[in-house]
Amino acid sequence: MGMMGAISAALGIPTLGYLLVPAREKKQSTWIEAADIGKLMVNQPEQVVFNRVRRDGWKTVTEKVAAWVVKTGDQQVVAFSPICTHLGCAVSWNAGEKSFACPCHTSVFSPDGKVVAGPAPRPLDRFDVRVDGIKVLLGEVKKSAEG
Ligand code: FES
C-alpha cells in the first residue's frame, strides 16, 4: 500500500503541477508597454508594433502585434486594431483625408474608428488602454459592436 501511495504521489504531483500552472499564469497581467505618451501628438495616429506572448493550448507563442494609437487629450489615449472589420486587411492612416483607409475594398474609418464608407460591418476593434505616467499600456483587443 505504501509503495502504491509513493508511486501515485510521484506520478500525480508533477501531473497536477503541469495541469495547474497554465491556469495560474493566465492571471498574470497582459498589459504591454506600447508607447511613450510624450512622443504622441494629439489626434495624430501613430502605428506601434510590439511583441505579445500568447498561449495556444500548451504552446507559448511570441507574436508581433500592431496598433494604431491616438492621443486624444493630455492623458487620454485610444488604440485601434489595424485589422479591417470587413475581411481583415490592414488599415493605414491617411493623414490628408484624416481617416483610416483599407486598401482591399475601400472601407474608410473616421479617426474615432467608426465606419465612414465601404463594406466594413462595424467600427475598428479597440485595445484596452491604460496610461501609467508616461507609459501607454495596451491590453486585450475588444471586438466592436455591429453598426
Ligand atoms: S478587408 Fe477592408 S474593406 Fe474589405
Based on the fold, state whether residues 107 and 42 are members of the same structural domain: yes
Residue in 80, 100, 102, 108 to alter for ligand 1 test, most ligand atoms within 8 A of Cβ: 102
Q: Evaluate whether residue 147 is within a structural domain.
A: no
Based on the fold, state whether residues 49 and 100 are members of the same structural domain: yes
Model pLDDT, residue 56: 82
- How does residue 2 score in pLDDT terms, banded at 50, 70 and 90? confident
- Cα(83) to centroid(ligand 1), Å: 9
Model pLDDT, residue 62: 92
Based on the fold, state whether residues 5 and 64 are members of the same structural domain: no
Q: What is the value of pTM for the model shown? A: 0.79
Residue in 84, 92, 108 to alter for ligand 1 test, most ligand atoms within 8 A of Cβ: 84
Which residue has a Cα nearest atom 4 of ligand 1? 105
Based on the fold, state whether residues 9 and 54 are members of the same structural domain: no
Q: Evaluate whether residue 43 is within a structural domain.
A: yes
- How does residue 10 score in pLDDT terms, banded at 50, 70 and 90? confident
Query: How does pLDDT run across 87-112, given as a tens digit for each residue?
Result: 999 999 999 999 999 999 999 999 99
In the block, cell 508597454 appears at: 33
Number of domains observed in the structure of the chain: 2
- How does residue 136 score in pLDDT terms, banded at 50, 70 and 90? very high
- Cα(40) to centroid(ligand 1), Å: 27
Q: Evaluate whether residue 95 is within a structural domain.
A: yes
Based on the fold, state whether residues 57 and 2 are members of the same structural domain: no
Based on the fold, state whether residues 115 and 80 are members of the same structural domain: yes
Domain with 131, as residue range(s), is 31-142
- Cα(85) to centroid(ligand 1), Å: 7
Query: How does pLDDT run across 12-42, given as a tens digit for each residue?
Result: 887 776 666 655 555 456 899 999 999 999 9
* CATH number of the CATH domain containing 94: 2.102.10.10
The C-alpha atoms of residue 129 and residue 77 are separated, in whole angstroms, by: 7
